[in-house]
Amino acid sequence: MNFTIRAARKDDCKDISRMIMELAIYEKMPDQVKISHKELERDGFSSNSFFECLVAEVPEEDKTKDGHTVVGYALYFYTYSTWKGRSVFMEDLYVMPEFRGKGIGKGLMSKVAKEGKGKQCARLQLTVLDWNTPSLDFYVAKGAHDLTANEGWHFLRFDEEAMANLAKDAP
């Protein structure tokens, strides 16, 4: 299948927002999505961007039945490891179901890796739900290591309320 991978533009945010919801539905957590395409525009396409994003686009003749040509995305940002230095964290990798198995996911992930290498990142990191074996198998087949299984690391999160409570104790 013919497709292109390119840097997302501000006008792609409605498509990205649509696919974020599709991913959340797949992950059985649609009620967790609280962000709008306007917030994506602000946070990804301003002078102080919090993330970068790539989109996969198919030609007009291969568009979806709903008329979409943007059929996948990878959203990522840069972090820092005190042990390894610069790192890239891929928050989401999503390809619409009817376009899976055509190299689009691998293309998006490879491009994120290339962008990270271009910024001298030592590693690419991501998280996968424990029940999502198709995705876990995909990443492992491409060379990822399961740190939970291999090293016992746990990924922790302070939600908004817990973070606010913690912030109250700041000097």
Taking only the tens place, the pLDDT of each residue in 52-94 is 999 999 999 999 999 999 999 999 999 999 999 999 999 999 9
Mean pLDDT, residues 143-148:
94
| pLDDT, average across residues 117-138 | 96
Instruction: Pick the catalytic residue from 73, 76, 94, 139.
Output: 139
Question: What band does 147 get if pLDDT is binned at 50, 70 and 90?
Answer: very high
Count of CB atoms situated within 10 Å of the CB of 71 = 25
pLDDT reported for residue 102: 97
Q: Is the pLDDT of residue 171 over 90?
A: yes
Percent above pLDDT 90 for the chain:
96
The mean of the pLDDT values for the chain is 96
**Which of the four pLDDT bands, split at 50, 70 and 90, describes residue 105?**
very high
- Which residues are registered as beta bridge partners of 53? 75
Task: Specify the pairing of strand 52-57 against strand 4-7.
Answer: antiparallel
100-139 exposure pattern, b = at least 16 Cβ within 10 A, e = fewer? eebebbebbbebbbebbeeeebebbbbebeeeeeebbebb
Q: How do residues 24-50 score in pLDDT, each as one tens digit?
A: 999 999 999 999 999 999 999 999 999
Report pTM: 0.94
- Our answer to whether residue 139 is catalytic in this structure is yes
Residue 1 has pLDDT above 90, yes or no: no
Percent of the chain with pLDDT over 70: 100
Cβ neighbours of residue 27 under 8 Å, at least 6 residues apart? 129, 132
What superfamily does domain 4-126 belong to in CATH? Gcn5-related N-acetyltransferase (GNAT) (3.40.630.30)
